[in-house]
Chains A and B, each alone.
Chain A
Amino acid sequence: MDLKLNVQSSPHVRDRISTSAIMLDVIIALIPATVWGILRFGVHAAIVVAVAVISAVLSETLFNIIVKKPNTIGDLSCVVTGLILGLNMPPEVPFFVPAVGSFFAIVIVKMLFGGLGQNFMNPALAGRCFCIISFAGFMNNFTSRMSVDAYTSATPLIILKSGNEVNLFDMLFGYIPGTIGEISAICLLLGAIYLAVKKIIDLRIPILYIVSFVIFIMIFGQGKSTNINYILGEVLGGGLIFGAFFMATDYATSPITPLGKVLYGILLGVLTGIFRLFGKSGESVSYVILISNLLVPLIESFTIPTAFGKEGK
């Protein structure tokens, strides 16, 4: 018997889960929101999303070719980044904007910092903020030719800020102006449930984010603290649901420690509350998550869990 045996250190079995399977699940979870956005906003929106994804994939490929590394697009994380960025674009934005945004997200924010998992800011969000700063006019225009007669282009947060009531049904089901992917809370929550059931995301961050945000605006909301319409409107509007479930949960840019996740969720909620109540920009969620990303190393450093049997020592 002549045996040729592989010799490798234990463990000798591995779970079926893989990086690409996780990314694929995130993509699947975003399908309802994507489909709804395209139904609502039409072909132009579909192309915007496609451009964002294709640009992300090409940027990563190009980068790998230039630095002579094996191509990493197989892990699908660039597709996720492109998709999230595309879904965060206004429906009528010119196509070059998502193309540039994805390039920035992948090359500058992700690859230059070492690629997958090494970036300290969420690439899609950084790409979006880059676009807002560079192409403010396009990025703040939420009118859509598909909805021109039935809906105003004022986003729910602007309506709330001016002291009026919003239509919560429309916000839940997605009959409001906004970016392509953020308008329907129901579609987003469907995706979030999928991710939670498949144990892809840890619900601690999004739930604490939303809960602490609600508590914050109830305390500091000056007279509106018991106004259900106001509170639910704030929760469902401004991309909070999208941000909480799909961006704040980004592995690379959220704490890995259990206690860190708790603190991070609360931090996000409080900061969003401050920005919403006292700031001017409607983009508070994006900025809050980016700022909090930068605090993650600090949060992690003092939340390393105590080893088993080392308690009280």
Chain B
Amino acid sequence: MYTFKHGVHPDECKELAKDKPIRVVSAGKTLVFPMQQHIGAKAKPCVKVGDNVLMGQIIGEADGIISANVLSSVSGKVTAIEERLVVGGQKVESIVIENDEKYDAIKGFGVERDFNSLSNEEIIRIVKDAGIVGLGGASFPTHVKLSPKDPNKIDYILVNGAECEPYLTSDYRLMIEETETLVKGLQCMLKLFPRAKGVICVEDNKRDAYDKITKACSSISNIETALMKTKYPQGGERQLIFAITGRKINVSVLPADAGCLVDNVDTVVSIGNAVCKSTPLLRRIITLSGDAYNETANLNVRFGISYKEIVDFAGGFKVNPEKMVSGGPMMGLPIFSLDMPVSKNSSALLAFTKDPLSNQNETNCINCGRCVSACPINLVPTRMLKAAKTGNFEEYIKLNGTECITCGSCSFVCPAKKPLTPYFSYMKFAVRGYLNSKKEAK
């Protein structure tokens, strides 16, 4: 079985939602589309207030090389273009659309297509027009990823089905329910990279998904499946690449430089949908889980629907939660309001009646070394924390702190309950600033 060194084993808590089939959430009256749902340049609105739009129509155009289109997920009328709150806590220019509930789609929407009859350029254009970005968290525009300098250097396309964060089950549901589209999506990608082999990587706590996919691609010569050990962060890009190929990359090396492309399950399914079914990216799959819900769920949510609406759709809260997280509990963002739209960079929505962090006794670091044994990057987190707290950037860099992937493993295991990862997230930006000012000084 494939795996990496170190890492941790948080309680999986997947049984809460893993057997809930994906349900489609019905959209409300008003939908909000932020122009920044991806890494890179903000999209530029290409509609005006008062315009009528169709489902699948591009309403925000990719602006620059690294950017992505934003599409309307319903048909209706543009009622406002204004700043709206998004999950990260920022306000972002957004297009507000009044849903006419007719779901009139753009021409050709939903038409079946054979990817073999398409040229590589056409496939990449379709992916770009469909507004597809990485749906595993990074939200990197997929068409850019699919156009590396030298396609012949790519010998692995890894589909990340690790879903190693506790609670999350949306990728699992997709792998089971959309097996065929997943394999199709991967075939589309492989067409672009003639020398590459596709590997669908699944953790061994999802064996049924693994078996189903293995069966579905048994007759396809350039696709394999790989069963990986259930361990966090098995789905981290560097850990996944190492587990499957034995190649090691660091922060300054792109996966493509190591001959690998990594995409998450939902992204590959979206590619399959866009290329083979002419259905652009208008939705994402969201797991609602945690003890505060009446009913956990895996939901197919159109972009633009507010978090509040999906919580109500699923059946609301049993008790008002004390803590909510967008994403998994190890790396997700804390949520402070439900009045925000679901977008491409959304993730699961977890709700806990008790904040697991509220009654932790922080003590001095006892130098126990648990953080060292947990760190998948082989760092010495307790020393990094000392350097970070004293603002000693040189020491922090010497300790390779810039290699930290903020996976949270060190904070998770620390018996002294030290805020290790939060400091390292902060240092990511602080070190950059420090290096810039140093350069200027020279």
Chain A residues packing against B (C-beta within 8 Å): 1-15, 17-22, 72, 74-75, 77, 114-118, 202, 251-252, 254, 256-258, 304-311, 313
Contacts and interface: CB of A to CB of B under 8 A. Distances in A.
B363 A75 contact: yes
A74 B403 contact: no
A116 B334 contact: no
Q: Which of A8, A11, A75, A77 has the most B CB atoms < 10 Å from its CB?
A: A11
A307 B408 contact: no
A313 B250 CA distance: 11
A116 B366 contact: yes
A259 to B, nearest CB: 11
Interface of B: 8, 10-11, 166, 238, 242, 248-251, 253, 308, 317, 320-325, 329-338, 350, 352, 355-358, 360-361, 363-370, 372-373, 376-380, 382-383, 399-400, 403, 406, 408, 411-417, 419, 421-422, 425
Contact of B378 (A18, A251, A307): A307
Most central of A6, A75, A116, A202 by chain B CB within 10 Å: A6
Residue in B356, B368, B406 whose Cβ sees the most chain A Cβ within 10 Å: B368
A309 to B, nearest CB: 3
Contacts of B331: 10-11
Contacts of A77: 366
B414 to A, nearest CB: 8
A8 B366 contact: no
B364 A307 contact: no
B360 A14 contact: yes
A306 B378 contact: yes
A13 B412 contact: yes
Given A5-B324, A7-B334, A251 B366 contact: yes
A256 B412 contact: no
Interface centre among B331, B350, B415, B421 (most CB of A within 10 A): B415
Given A13-B166, A17-B415, A117-B366, A6 B377 contact: no
A309 B249 contact: yes
7 contacts: A9-B419, A13-B330, A14-B411, A14-B412, A116-B366, A256-B367, A307-B400
B248 A6 contact: no
Contacts of A309: 238, 248-251, 253, 377, 403
Given A1-B308, A6-B334, A310 B322 contact: no
A12 B325 contact: yes
A252 B322 contact: no
Contacts of B332: 10, 12
Nearest to B416: A19
Contacts of B367: 117, 251-252, 254, 256
Contacts of A18: 361, 415, 417
Contact of B334 (A4, A9, A14): A9
B413 A15 contact: yes
Given A13-B329, A72-B363, A5 B334 contact: yes
B330 A11 contact: yes
Nearest to B398: A304
Nearest 7 interchain pairs by C-beta: A11-B408, A309-B250, A9-B422, A307-B400, A116-B364, A309-B248, A12-B329
A22 B413 CA distance: 12
Contacts of B373: 258
For the residues of A in contact with B, the DSSP-based class is loop
A63 to B, nearest CB: 14
A6 B369 contact: no
Contact of B411 (A5, A11, A19): A11
A29 to B, nearest CB: 15
Contacts of A74: 361
A5 B336 contact: yes
B308 A12 contact: no
Contacts of A256: 367, 369, 372, 380, 382-383
A257 B425 CA distance: 23
A20 B334 CA distance: 28
Contact of B400 (A3, A7, A310): A310
A308 B308 CA distance: 41
Nearest to B253: A309
B421 to A, nearest CB: 6
Contact of B408 (A7, A10, A254, A306): A10
Contacts of B417: 14, 18
B323 A5 contact: yes
A154 B320 CA distance: 70
Nearest to A250: B367
B427 to A, nearest CB: 12
Given A1-B308, A116-B363, A251-B367, A11 B412 contact: yes
Given A6-B323, A309-B238, 17 more contacts: A3-B320, A6-B334, A10-B332, A12-B356, A12-B357, A13-B329, A13-B356, A14-B360, A18-B415, A20-B363, A22-B415, A117-B364, A117-B365, A256-B367, A307-B378, A307-B400, A310-B403
A307 B377 contact: yes
Nearest to B360: A14
B166 to A, nearest CB: 7
B10 A13 contact: yes
A75 B242 CA distance: 39
Among B360, B373, B380, chain A packs the most CB atoms within 10 A around the CB of B380
A8 B412 contact: no
A230 to B, nearest CB: 35
Contacts of B365: 117
Contacts of B352: 12
A19 B372 contact: no
B404 to A, nearest CB: 9
Contact of A5 (B322, B363, B376): B322
A304 B334 contact: no
A13 B366 CA distance: 20
B329 A11 contact: yes
Contact of A12 (B323, B363, B369, B379): B323
A182 to B, nearest CB: 24
Contacts of A304: 380, 383, 399
A295 to B, nearest CB: 15
A209 to B, nearest CB: 17
A6 B356 CA distance: 10
A2 B419 CA distance: 29
Contacts of B238: 308-309
Nearest to A9: B422
Contact of A114 (B358, B364, B380): B364
Contacts of B325: 10, 12
